[in-house]
Amino acid sequence: MVKYPSGSSAAFRKSIDKEKNQPKTTQNKNISFSDRGMTLEQMINESNKYYRINEIAVVHKKPTPIQIVKVDYPKRSRAVIKEAYFRQESTTDYNGVYQGYYLDFEAKETKNKTNFPLKNFHEHQIIHLEQCLKQKGICFTIIGFTVLKRYFVTPANEIIKAWWTKNKSSVTLAEIEAWSIEIESGFQPTLPYLKAVDQFIANRN
Amino acid sequence: MVKYPSGSSAAFRKSIDKEKNQPKTTQNKNISFSDRGMTLEQMINESNKYYRINEIAVVHKKPTPIQIVKVDYPKRSRAVIKEAYFRQESTTDYNGVYQGYYLDFEAKETKNKTNFPLKNFHEHQIIHLEQCLKQKGICFTIIGFTVLKRYFVTPANEIIKAWWTKNKSSVTLAEIEAWSIEIESGFQPTLPYLKAVDQFIANRN
């Protein structure tokens, strides 16, 4: 909230440092995770932070849309929302910019080993991806098979086609393998999904 | 939530029709407005809807980030958030895609007639715009002088420069006029800010 008239680069560095040193507790609070490791969402959030800090890309997860009905403003302490409801989302969870390209994607994980149920994607997400494709965005999904520890970056058009196919309730692992670029999870970033994006850009040009 | 296996284009049209016919009450609930007309936020939301329905661009306002602490799940009715707090935003309010270009902007209005106070922009917004500019996004602000009914689309770099300038607490209307493309409010869309974006793109190429 405060405007620091301390000159661009120093304050910018300070802010980046702040982000680097931030404890992870606030983020983790909202995410259910087991001690086996990070959820796909956590992996992507960590990767986005890495990409952001290293000025490789600017991608954020969108907040969950909430309809606020009642807020209390207690004296000498911050506002408390006392009644609110979850609203229907109208987009995917992630978007951002990478070397001038618009990125838009949805991430989902499954415990299945041989197929991915299409009901994991909601109609509004599919329609949003279609709209962004028409605007020449780079649109994809990240599907994680958590038990297999395998992660796939799949061009949105394949998922859209499958989703609208009559009586098709899931895609097989083999289909996903055929359509996607597989990404191995690593250390920095945790899930280097931009490697797949680089391929999509190379194929486009 | 339901997967409609009814074929792509029909269901897509249906969904677009749904958006067209949606009553405006749900949106308006969250926005304070006087009978004198729409707020800048409402104007931009209406314009984004127009651009989306007509497949001109896909731009959304990001939801306010909320930290949820307590949720009730009453039987036979939807989940109620009983305790939650506003979180610090880390981006601007709007982003999206237009003809392959990544758009990112913040909108602010003032009742002033001769200047715009820079404290209306927060540090995290300025830094986010800087980060997006580095990734070659098209970044700008929309500043509304509500009393004058004048609306300016200003390239982000001008606002960023002013914001970091020592002892500069506001920009004058004359400065904004010099830096910006002025947009007249109209009917469809309410605020045709993409006209300014077209100019930015033309200047870039």
CATH number at residue A135: 3.40.1350.10
Q: Quick check: B101 and A100 CB within 8 A?
A: yes
**B93 is in which domain, residue-wise?**
36-204
Instruction: Report the SS3 class of residue A81.
Output: strand
Nearest to B82 among A11, A82, A91 (CB): A82
Cα-based distances in Å from B34 to A67, A150, B37, B111: 21, 53, 6, 14
The answer to whether residue A8 is domain-embedded is: no
Of A11, A15, A102, the CB nearest to B102: A102
8 Å CB contact between B42 and B33: yes
Q: Is residue A70 part of a domain?
A: no
pLDDT beneath 50: ranges in chain A = 1-14, 22-36
**Would you state the pLDDT for residue A18?**
52
Look-up of token digits 């280097």: A192
Contact: B84, A79; criterion CB under 8 Å:
no
Matching residue, tokens 């970091």: B164
The rounded distance, in Å, linking the Cα atoms of A119 and B2 is 8
Would you say A160 and A100 are in contact if contact means Cβ atoms under 8 Å apart?
no
Query: Where does residue B32 rank: exposed (0-12), middle (13-18), buried (19+ CB within 10 A)?
Result: exposed
> For position A35, what pLDDT does the model report?
33
ipTM tops 0.90: no
Residue B112 burial (C-beta neighbours within 10 Å; 0-12, 13-18, 19+): middle
Cβ within 8 Å, pair B98-A135 = yes
Closest residue by Cα to residue B58 from B92, B102, B91: B102
Please say whether the dihedral angle defined by the alpha carbons of residues A39, A40, A41 and A45, taken in this order, is positive or negative.
positive
In tens, the pLDDT along B25-80 reads 444 444 444 334 799 999 999 999 999 999 999 999 999 999 999 999 998 889 99
Q: How far apart are the first and last CA of chain B?
A: 42
Sheet strands (E) in chain A = 58-61, 66-72, 80-86, 94-98, 101-110, 115-117, 138-145, 150-155, 170-172, 181-183
A29/B137 Cβ within 8 A: no
The shortest C-alpha distance from A192 to chain B (Å) reads 18
CA distance B181 to B191: 12
Residues of A in contact with B8 (CB under 8 A): 160, 164
In angstroms, the separation between the Cα of residue A160 and the nearest Cα of chain B is 9
Question: pLDDT under 50 in chain B at which residues?
Answer: 1-15, 22-36
CA-to-CA distance for A150 and A24, rounded, in angstroms?
25
The two tokens of residue B130 are 């800087």
Answer whether residue A9 is part of any domain. no
Inter-chain residue contact B134 with A55, CB threshold 8 Å: yes
Nearest-CA distance B127 → chain A (Å) = 7
Pick B135's closest partner by Cβ from A12, A99, A123. A99
Residue B9 falls inside a structural domain: no
For an interface test with B, the pick among A135, A168, A169, A201 (most B C-beta atoms closer than 10 Å) comes out as A135
* Neighbour count for residue A66 (Cβ, 10 Å): 19
A86 contacts B81? CB cut-off 8 A? yes
Report phi then psi at B174, rounded to 5. Answer: -60, -40
Distance CA A143, CA A106 (A): 9
Give the distance from residue A112's alpha carbon to the nearest chain B alpha carbon, in angstroms. 20
Residue B152 placed within a domain:
yes
> Phi then psi for A126, rounded to 5 degrees?
-65, -45
Which of B12, B58, B137 is nearest residue A135 as measured by Cβ atoms? B58
Q: State residue B60's pLDDT score.
A: 97
**Residue in A64, A104, A164 closest to B63 by CB:** A64
CA B34 to the chain's CA centroid: 20
The answer to whether B97 and A102 have CB atoms below 8 angstroms apart is: yes
The structure's pTM equals 0.83
Number of separate domains in chain B? 1
CB contact (8 A) between residue A79 and residue B58? no
Residue of B nearest to A81 (CA): B84
Residue of A13, A101, A102 to mutate, testing the B interface (most B Cβ within 10 Å of its Cβ): A102
Mutation site, A18, A58, A130, A140, interface B, largest B CB count within 10 A: A58
First to last CA, chain A: 42
